[in-house]
Amino acid sequence: MPNTLCTRKIAWLTVACLLSCGFLSPNEAVGQLDGMRFELGRRLTRFERAWQTADNQARIASLESMDGAVRSFFGLQLETAVQLLDQACQEVTNPSPEALQKWLDVNRFSIDFEVPWIDATKPALRLRWRQVVQPQRRTASSGQSTVLQSAVLGKGVLRLEVLDEKRQVVATESWVGFLPDATEATESEDWHEWRLPELPPGDYQVAATYEVDGSSIGMISEWISISHNLDDRLQKASEWYEGHRRSSGDTTIATAKWLVREMKQGYKGQATEIDIPWNAWLTHFELLRDSGAGFFEAMLRTGPTSLWVQLSHSRKTQIVRLGIPRPSSEPMPVLFAFHGAGGSENMFFEAYGAGRLVSLANERGWLVVSPRQTLNGLALDIDTMLESLSEQLPIDRSRVMLVGHSMGASQAMAQVSAHPDEVIAVAALGGGGSAKPSLRSKEIRFYVAAGDRDFGRPRAKSLVESLSKMECDVQYREFPNVEHMVIVQAALDEVFEFLDETSRVAGLSKHDGDQK
C-alpha cells in the first residue's frame, strides 16, 4: 500500500508548528507531506542505528547531510530530506564514493505491499516497487550538503526474507530485474504475487535487499501481519463497535473503539506512518472487549511490551503509546516522553535513538508514556493522564519524570509549570520553553542539552538562564558536532544518569516517609 500520512491531523500539526517556528510560509500545502512519513521515519531509524555504533570521525562525516536533512524536512523539501537521510546513513558507515552512489540509487525505491495484513488461509501478498524520490542530482537548500543520484542501475535481484520475532528467517522469495534501469514513473504498474508458506499468526519483519553489480543493498520495506479467521473477527469487531458507538466509556472502552477504527482502515490498505503490528492489535482489541481492565493485568504479566491506549477522562481522550517494562510487583515510576514538531507518539519508540529510551526505561522497570500532541497541544494534562493510568496500572506517582525534544521540551516545561507537585525531574533536549516559578521549583531537578549545530540551542540556553535566575537545580550540556535530531540519542546516557540519581533520591525520601 502507499506509505502515506497516517492522519491528516498530524499533517496540520506539522504545518502549524513549522509556521510558528518560521520554517514554512503560509502558502505551502499540507499535501506536500503526504507520501513521505513512513519513508522518513524508517530512514531516520536506520540512520540512528548506524550512528549508535559509529566512531566519532564517522559521526562527524555525516553531520552536514543530517543537518541538511532536518532543515529540509522543516522546509517541507521532503524528497531532499529523504535523500540526505540516506546519504547521512551511508556516510556514517564510511563507504567508498562508488558504494555510496550505488546504495543511493537503489534506495530511491522502496517495496510497497498492496495490503500488508492477510488471513492465514490466504497467504498471498501483492507487491511492487515504488519510487520515493526522483533520480535527478539535487543540492540541499541549506549548508554545503550535496545529494548525489545517478539513476543508473544494472539488472539485479530483489530478495525478500520474512523474519519472526526471534529474527529467524521463515520464508524467502526473489525476483530478477525487479528495479528499473532508469525511469521517471513514480511507481510500478506491475504487481508481483508472493505466495507465502503456512505461517503461524503474528507480525513479521520483511527484510528487503537488492543484489546488483556484486553488491547486496538493503531497502525499505513494510512489515506484514498474519491472522486466523481475519474477515470473521473484523466483522465481529465492527458489530461490537456499532453497539458501543455512542458510549463514551472508560479507558478500556475508548481504547477498544479506537483500535477498531484503526484496524478497519488498515485492512483496507490505508497508509500508516510506521509498521503497525495488526495481529497484535486485533488480539489486544479482543482481550479488551472480553476482559476489560483484565487486559492491562495481562500486559503487565507479559512485559516488556508496547501498547497504544486512548486514555479517557470526562469525555476527553488522549492517545498515548505505553512502554510497559518487565513484570514486577512494585509500582512503576513514570517517564513521560514528549515528541517534537512533525512527530507523533511513536517517535521515542521508533525513531529517536532507534527506540533506545524505551529500552533503557524497561531495564529500570519504568513505565514510558508518550502522548500524541495535536494542534491544541494535549487533550489531557499529565495530572489527568496519571489519574487515568492509575486506574489501570500500578504506578508510583512519587517518581514522575519528563523528557521532551524540541517542541516536546516546551511541552515538558508547560506541564511541570502547571503541575510542579507531580514531577521530580525534567530533561529538555534541543529546545526550551517557559519556566514558571512555584513553591516547589527548587525541589525539581532539570537537565537541558543541545548540540552545537542545533537550531534549538538558543531556546535551550534561554531556558537554562531562566531556571538559573529561579535558583533551580539545572545542568546544561552542549554536545559538539551534534545537530537538532541526533541530540536525543547523543544525550540519552547522560539523561538516564540524571534520572537515575533523581529517582534514587526520591525513592529514599519516599521510604523515609513511609518509615515515619
Give per-residue pLDDT as tens, 390-442: 999 999 999 999 999 999 999 999 999 999 999 999 999 999 988 888 888 89
pLDDT at position 40 over 50: yes
The pLDDT value given to residue 186: 62
What CA–CA distance (Å, rounded) separates 277 from 395? Answer: 26
Query: Using an 8 Å Cβ cutoff, are 322 and 331 in contact?
Result: no
pLDDT at position 194 over 80: yes
Are 287 and 314 contained in the same domain? no
Please check whether residue 147 lies inside any domain of the structure. yes
Are 217 and 234 contained in the same domain? no
Are 318 and 410 contained in the same domain? yes
Please check whether residue 299 lies inside any domain of the structure. no
CATH number, position 209: 2.60.40.1930
Top pLDDT among 510 and 331 is at 331
Please check whether residue 3 lies inside any domain of the structure. no
pLDDT at position 100 over 50: yes
DSSP E strand boundaries for 325-424:
332-338, 367-371, 395-405
List of residues 6+ apart from 254 with CB closer than 8 A:
248, 310, 311, 312, 317
Top pLDDT among 320 and 148 is at 320
- Could you report the per-residue pLDDT of 460-514, keeping only the tens digit for each? 999 999 999 999 999 999 999 999 999 999 999 999 999 999 999 987 665 455 5
The pLDDT value given to residue 141: 46
Per-residue DSSP letters for 19-38?
HHHTSS-TT--GGGGTTTHH
The pLDDT value given to residue 510: 58
Are 236 and 311 contained in the same domain? no
Of 202, 227, 252, which residue sits at a domain end? 227
Please check whether residue 403 lies inside any domain of the structure. yes
Are 457 and 472 contained in the same domain? yes
Are 349 and 433 contained in the same domain? yes
Prior bond of 135 cis (ω within 30°):
no
Range of the domain at 101: 8-227
Of 227, 244, 261, which residue sits at a domain end? 227
What CA–CA distance (Å, rounded) separates 463 from 446? Answer: 10
CB atoms within 10 A of CB 268: 10
Residue 197 CA: distances (Å) to CA of 124, 192, 271, 384: 9, 16, 26, 48
The pLDDT value given to residue 248: 74
- Could you report the per-residue pLDDT of 53-82, keeping only the tens digit for each? 999 999 999 999 999 999 999 888 998 999
- The closest of 314, 312, 316, 368 to 345, measured between CA atoms, is 368
Please check whether residue 2 lies inside any domain of the structure. no
Are 492 and 362 contained in the same domain? yes
The pLDDT value given to residue 274: 92
Over its C-alpha atoms, the chain yields an Rg (Å, rounded) of 23
Are 214 and 311 contained in the same domain? no
pLDDT at position 10 over 80: no
pLDDT at position 285 over 80: yes
The pLDDT value given to residue 133: 86
Please check whether residue 95 lies inside any domain of the structure. yes
CATH number, position 443: 3.40.50.1820
The pLDDT value given to residue 243: 94
Are 348 and 399 contained in the same domain? yes
Please check whether residue 468 lies inside any domain of the structure. yes
Helix (H) or strand (E) holding 51: helix 37-53
Query: pLDDT band at residue 185, thresholds of 50, 70 and 90?
Result: low
Please check whether residue 214 lies inside any domain of the structure. yes
Count of the separate structural domains present in the chain? 3
Of 245, 268, 292, which residue sits at a domain end? 292
3-state DSSP assignment of residue 93: coil
Helix (H) or strand (E) holding 209: strand 202-212
The dihedral formed by the CA atoms of 319, 324, 330 and 334, expressed in degrees to the nearest 10: -50
Are 325 and 357 contained in the same domain? yes
Most confident of 36-40, 267-271, 321-325: 321-325
Are 433 and 314 contained in the same domain? yes
What CA–CA distance (Å, rounded) separates 227 from 314? Answer: 35
The grid coordinates of residue 509 equal 525520601
pLDDT at position 372 over 90: yes
